[in-house]
């Protein structure tokens, strides 16, 4: 099985490692924009060779696109133009706009939209790690528009690296990910900015940062090149989640201003119900 990965960063590089570790692929070709990224991916043993896009696609059984999501709307039609009968997938965090971009392409059925829901706050080929995907969920979107045998093959691929599979339509996917993934990044970026603005003393932040602060602010280390395109493509869902979040912050502030600590207690008890869902 030869797999071509376009965009060898955290997700593309980690896919390369897992696909080889678990024996699903025996030859991995990388396609990269910057020569230094290509060099790093070779040095780290993530890929066997680096080729130009057209050549890499011709040699592949499966093409995985793992660049920032804004590129998908232009690169996927190009890749679908170039393939014979290979499978093409992307791994993006947004789905509706991407699928709309190739909805009427004659090779649409060769494409499977996937979101392996695993990650870290780091990026680039150096961030790639073994077993990033083990015991995590992969969502396949609008799978009824893909060839059934290709959907089965991609399910097998993700299962081979330890993932569970869920099916969802792209509209629901984008709404749910705004709640469970995109808003947490906004909160983390905002918290980091708040602390950096108010606490100019970097040494104090470093010395006093407790595990609570560190875990809440972790996602603020994430790459803007990855996240700005995600917020742009999922703008409406993110804005409506943001409205709800701001309302909760205002409610919290109102209770503090009114010295309403009993009500604040009830507010937190309500929030504690998350324990029942996330143990
Ligand atoms: P990343 O570590 O920054 O990797 C993206 C890679 O894409 C970079 O190595 C970059 O390489 C390459 N790239 C950018 N433009 C390119 C182009 N025009 N042609 C070829 N390669 C190009 O980002 P990531 O976190 O892996 O994210 C990749 C995708 O996975 C995104 O669509 C994201 O939505 C999705 N995803 C991310 C997470 C997460 O937690 N981070 C989780 C699930 C899914 P160069 O240095 O050569 O530009």
Q: Do residues 158 and 190 lie in contact, with contact meaning Cβ atoms separated by under 8 Å?
A: no
**pTM for the full predicted model:** 0.94
Question: Per-block average pLDDT, block size 10, for the chain (279 residues)?
Answer: 98 98 98 97 98 98 98 98 97 98 98 97 98 98 98 98 98 96 95 84 73 88 97 97 96 97 96 87
State whether the beta carbon of 67 lies less than 6 angstroms from ligand 1. Answer: yes
Ranges of H-type helices in 116-234:
148-160, 170-177, 183-198, 202-208, 211-217, 224-233
Verify whether ligand 1 is closer than 6 Å to residue 11 (CB atom): yes
**Residues whose CB is less than 8 angstroms from the CB of residue 104 and which lie 6 or more positions away in sequence, other chains included:** none
Distance from Cα 53 to the centre of ligand 1, integer Å: 16
119 lines ligand 1 (CB under 6 A): yes
Beta carbon of 34 within 6 Å of any ligand 1 atom: yes
């Amino acid at each position: 099985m030869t797999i071509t990965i376009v965009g060898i960063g955290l997700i593309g590089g980690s896919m390369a490692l897992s696909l080889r570790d678990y024996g699903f692929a025996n030859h991995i070709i990388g396609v990269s924009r910057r020569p230094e990224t290509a060099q790093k991916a070779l040095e780290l043993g993530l890929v066997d060779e680096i080729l130009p896009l057209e050549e890499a696609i011709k040699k592949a059984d499966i093409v995985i696109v793992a660049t920032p999501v804004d590129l998908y709307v232009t690169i996927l039609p190009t890749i679908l133009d170039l393939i014979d009968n290979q499978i093409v997938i992307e791994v993006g965090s947004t789905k509706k706009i991407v699928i709309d971009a190739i909805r009427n392409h004659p090779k649409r059925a060769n494409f499977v939209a996937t979101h392996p829901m695993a990650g870290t706050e780091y990026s680039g080929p150096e961030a790639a790690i073994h077993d990033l995907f083990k015991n995590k969920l992969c969502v396949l979107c609008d799978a009824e528009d893909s060839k059934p045998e290709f959907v089965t093959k991609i399910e097998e691929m993700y299962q081979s690296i330890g993932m569970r599979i869920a099916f969802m339509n792209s509209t629901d996917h984008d709404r749910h990910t705004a709640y469970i993934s995109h808003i947490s990044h906004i909160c983390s970026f905002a918290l980091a900015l708040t602390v950096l603005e108010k606490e100019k003393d970097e040494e104090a932040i470093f010395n006093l940062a407790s595990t609570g602060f560190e875990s809440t602010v972790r996602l603020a280390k994430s790459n803007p090149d990855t996240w700005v395109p995600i917020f742009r493509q999922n703008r409406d869902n993110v804005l409506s989640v943001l409205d709800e979040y701001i309302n909760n912050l205002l409610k919290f502030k109102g209770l503090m201003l009114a010295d309403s600590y009993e009500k604040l207690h009830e507010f937190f008890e309500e929030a504690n119900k998350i324990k029942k869902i996330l143990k």
